Each structure stands twice: as C-alpha cells, then as structure tokens.
Structure 1
Amino acid sequence: MVAALVGAFLGALFVFGISSAVKGGFSPTRIVLAGAAVSTFLYAVGEGVGLYFKVSKDISMWTAGGMAGTNWKQLQVIVPVIILGIVLSFFLARQLTILSLSEEVATSLGQNIFIVKVVLFIIIIVLSGASVALVGNMTFIGLMIPHIVRALVGTDYRFILPMSAIVGAIFMLFADTLGRTLNAPYETPVAAIVAIIGLPFFLAIVRKGGRALS
C-alpha cells in the first residue's frame, strides 16, 4: 500500500507538472492527456520492475485488477486508510460543492481555494492509492459511478459522496458475482467485466462533452 501511495503521489505530480508546463495552465483536456501519458509510462516501469525481479506474473495479475487475491489481512491494513479518506472527504463535501460551481463563486464566499484543492488532492491520492493497492486497475468504476449518482441525487456532494460509496460497492458486488458465474467453474476477471460495461459509458461521456448523465 505504501508503494501504491507513493506511486499515486508521484503520478499526480507528473500529471500536473506536464499539464501546467505549457502556456494557459491547467485544463481538463491537458490533464486527461497527461494522465494517459503518465499512466502508460508508469505501467511500463511496473513491467520493467516485474521482469527485473522475476515477478512479472504477479504484477500482471495485480495490474489487471480484481478481488480474487484479496484477503482479510490486507483489508485490516487498507480499510482504515480508506475509511479515514472517506470521512475527511465528507467533511469537505460542502466546500467541494461550492468549488464545483466555479472558482469565482468559491472565492466570493470566502473559500481559500488553494488550501481546499491541496487537501482534496491529498485525499484523492490516498484513496486511489489504497484502492489500487487492494484491487489493482479499476479505472472505469471511478468514471461511471459518480456520473450515475449525480443523475440520481443532483450536484450536492454531501449526497454524491456517500451515495457513490454505496452504489460503487453494489456495482462491484454485481461485477464480482457476474465474473464468478458467467463462465463457472472458471472466474472471469472483474476488471474485464467493468471495462466492457465502462467503455461504452466513457464513449458516451466523451461524445456529449462530459455532460452525460449530469
């Protein structure tokens, strides 16, 4: 988990460093492109580490994503970190809702935008690092679930955050159950099922300029 947290922190630094290196500063498009580039680079580094230490099979199984290798000992270490990150995000839900309107509105209401963003980025890094350490690559979960929840409960993050946790857990149980029964007695990787469902969803969001289901 420590390695995953360090990797998440370094990856975030690379993404924001690359996306802010050109004139004009941050933009959603630059962040997405920089994220794709950094993700590919870090994946190559992981493969290189696996080949050097002769653990490439284990790394490939982990990066593929899934819950097959998860055990209670791992949960005892990682779950407290995830719970802490979720609780902290709940405390900042109101500030996040205001910030989602616009930076000008947040500033006019007395928010220190820089501090709020830094704290939120740290929480995101901790949550994503801990989650990836446990189940590997589950990118589409973080893409799909918030959009679905936003369509159900609106734009107030005091409702979006807890509902995302609940709906995300339900979706993961559904995907895991489907993976265990689709080709029984063999188990279909959960990440493959999530990707099959998530890719059309991602294309729909791109087609509608990120406003799908919002």
Structure 2
Amino acid sequence: MDLHGRGQRLRILCGALVLLVLTMVLSLGIGFRAVPWSEAMAALWAPDPGNDLHLIVRVLRVPRTLLAVMAGAALGIAGAMMQAVTRNPLAEPGILGINAGAAVAVVLAIMVLGLTSMAQYVWFGFLGAGLAGVAVFTLGRAHETGTDPVRLVLAGAGIAVVLGAMTGIVILNAPLQEFDTFRNWSAGSVSDREAEIAVILAMVLLPAGLLALSLAGSLNILSLGQEMGQALGVRPGRVWGLTCIAVMLLAGGATAGAGPIGFVGLVAPHAARMVCGPDYRWILPVSGVFAAILLLLADILGRIVIAPDEVAAGIVAAILGGPFFILLVRRFRLARI
C-alpha cells in the first residue's frame, strides 16, 4: 500500500514517533523487577537515591533503552540507504562486511590487548567497521565507469567471509574468560551497557544520521538509474562515497555498541516503503523510527520469554526477521544493475 501525500506521511511519522515513546516507557518498566509506570516517571523527573526501583530505572533501564533506540534507528537508516544505492531489496548493512569488520576488531581487542570494558573496545568496533567499509569500497570500485553496485556487493560478501573466518580462528584459541566477554557482545545484546556507551554512540550517530538525511534527494534521483541521475546533475560517485561513509558510521556505531544485529536493517526499510512510497526523504526517517521500535520490542520480548533469564535482542530480532527474509526471497528477484 502506497500512501501518497505529505500530510499522510507526516501523520505516519508522528504516529510512529508516539509509538516509539510508548515503547520506551514500556521498556523502562519491564525486566527482572517490574517497575510501575508512575515509579518509572518519578525516577526520570524526581529521582530518589534511596529508592531501589529508581536506581534500576536510571542505572540499568535508561541506558539500555537509549542504546536500543539509537542502534535500531542507525541500522534502519543504513539499511534503507543500502537498498537505495544497490537497488537490491535484500540489501542490509552487513552487506558491506561492517558487522564482520567490527567483530574481528573487537575480538582482537579483547583477546590480544586484554580489554574487558565495552567503553574501551567499542572504539575498536568503530575502527574495524570503518576499515572493512573502506576495503569493500576500494575493491568494489569500477574505475572505468564509476562505482558498480554489484561489484560492491560481491566485495562485501567476500570481505565478510574472510573476516568471519579470522574471528572464528581467534575465538577457537581464546581463553574461556575472554571468550565469555566476546560472546556477550556478539549475541547482539543491549543489556548491561554503561551510560558512557550511549553517549559515545550519540556523538557518532547524530552527525551520521544528518548526513544520511541530506542525501535523500540524491538517492531519489539515483533510484531512476545511474544514467538518468547523471543527466539530472547528480554525481553517482560522490553520492556512493558519502553513502558508504554514512553507512559505515551508522551500522559501524550500532554494531560496535550493541554487537552484530541482523534483519533490523532489512525489515524496517521495506515496512517504511510500504506506507510512505518511494520517496527517500520519508523512507529514511520512517525506517529509523520503525527499526528503533523493532529492536526495542525485541529487547523487551527477550526479557519476558525465559524470565528471570534473558534472550539477547539480536537473537530475538533474528527470529522475528527470519520469516520476513524468506518472504522477500520468494517475492523478489535480485535486481540487475
């Protein structure tokens, strides 16, 4: 269903934002200890240091909720951009090998340098994601005619396989303690994260998100085809380069902070496209909000299904996104660029 009209799209975006806020409030109250809505609001606006429920909300639930929202929004916007520039309905941030690059950098930081705090090895996740993205973009360039989306996708798949193998080799030879540290990160969990992580991600994801939104008009033109885009004054190589930078920062930041999370960046853009049509000026922000809601709901469900224990949000997101991925494979054929 393609709902046309600026007013309708604006109402959809506002409704999604309201739903996101309600989901965030729900996230503050659900967990190993239930926190009533009134207590959760009091913890935010009138905290009492002697109230253990207020401490749970402010120390544990708020950073967790903010991290899920930021990581989900970043993955949703990055996924929408990747589907736009590759013109491939199955594209998502992992297609550039960003998850694999962040994973191999984090595992080396933990195993070789002995880092145990996420505030320390999150920077290695950024570095690994960035280097992997640069390598894929370099290998995926078609120097005679500009950047080739198909070649970029193939380069990303190859880099991801190689880096995944390297990660596996290091893990198999790692001591048990370091393995547990990496396992907690690699499951794609937003629990037990320091507030500092949310601050670090905000500093990176906010400018990256603004860069992505500034490219929306160019993505609309390029969706008509590279030749048509050039005829309308768009420089495809420049748009590709800026898009890759935005995707590296968005998906790299989300992966560094929350671990590798799949399907969120695949599902949210399709849902946004169904209700907003083909205009990327609307698809990008709506994808971000939808993805934030999806990851936050996955985290909430993970706290409930085997309470008092938890399932990582990345695992729940994969379970929810798997059937949707199968549906896409059956419905679409890969676009030939």
Q: Give the TM-score taking structure 2 as reference length.
A: 0.56
Q: Per-residue deviation at 1:124?
A: 0.6
1:40 is matched with 161
2:240 to 117, 129, 153: 117
Q: Is the CA contact 2:137–2:244 (under 8 Å) kept in the aligned structure 1?
A: no
Q: Per-residue deviation at 1:47?
A: 3.9
1:208 to 301, 307, 331: 331
Change in Cα spacing, 1:48 to 1:123, as seen in structure 2 (3 Å) is same
Distance 1:27 1:169 in 2: 27
Distance 1:34 1:126 in 2: 19
Q: Per-residue deviation at 1:142?
A: 0.6
Matched, 1:5 2:102: no
Q: Is the CA contact 2:188–2:260 (under 8 Å) kept in the aligned structure 1?
A: yes
Q: Is the CA contact 1:47–1:56 (under 8 Å) kept in the aligned structure 2?
A: no
Superimposed CA distance per residue, residues 152-204 of structure 1 (whole angstroms, 9 cap, x where no aligned partner): 10111110111111111111121111110111111012112111111111122
Structure 2 unaligned spans of 5+: 1-121
Distance 1:36 1:65 in 2: 20
Query: Where do residues 152-167 of structure 1 align in structure 2 (5 Å cutoff)?
Result: 152-167=275-290
Superimposed CA distance per residue, residues 45-96 of structure 1 (whole angstroms, 9 cap, x where no aligned partner): 2344456664222112212211113221111111121011001111111111
Aligned residues: 208
2:307 to 168, 184, 190: 184
Query: Where do residues 88-127 of structure 1 align in structure 2 (5 Å cutoff)?
Result: 88-127=211-250
Q: Is the CA contact 1:46–1:59 (under 8 Å) kept in the aligned structure 2?
A: no
1:75 to 192, 198, 204: 198
More displaced stretch, 183-192 vs 42-51: 42-51
In our comparison, the structure showing a higher alpha carbon Rg is: 2
Superimposed CA distance per residue, residues 10-44 of structure 1 (whole angstroms, 9 cap, x where no aligned partner): 323444555569xx98454x655543442232233
Q: Per-residue deviation at 1:8?
A: 1.9
Amino acid at match of 1:7: G
Q: Is the CA contact 1:93–1:158 (under 8 Å) kept in the aligned structure 2?
A: yes
Structure 1 unaligned spans of 5+: none
Distance 1:58 1:5 in 2: 18
Q: CA RMSD in A?
A: 2.4
Matched, 1:148 2:271: yes
More displaced stretch, 49-58 vs 72-81: 49-58
Q: Is the CA contact 1:175–1:193 (under 8 Å) kept in the aligned structure 2?
A: yes
Distance 2:183 2:160 in 1: 15
SS for the counterpart of 1:137 is coil
Q: Per-residue deviation at 1:210?
A: 5.1
Amino acid at match of 1:63: S
Change in Cα spacing, 1:90 to 1:126, as seen in structure 2 (3 Å) is same
Amino acid at match of 2:156: G
% of aligned pairs identical? 34
More displaced stretch, 197-206 vs 172-181: 197-206
Superimposed CA distance per residue, residues 133-154 of structure 1 (whole angstroms, 9 cap, x where no aligned partner): 1111112111111111111101
Q: Give the TM-score taking structure 1 as reference length.
A: 0.86
Q: Is the CA contact 2:261–2:317 (under 8 Å) kept in the aligned structure 1?
A: yes
More displaced stretch, 75-84 vs 56-65: 56-65
SS for the counterpart of 1:46 is helix
1:174 is matched with 297
Amino acid at match of 2:215: L
Matched, 1:61 2:192: no
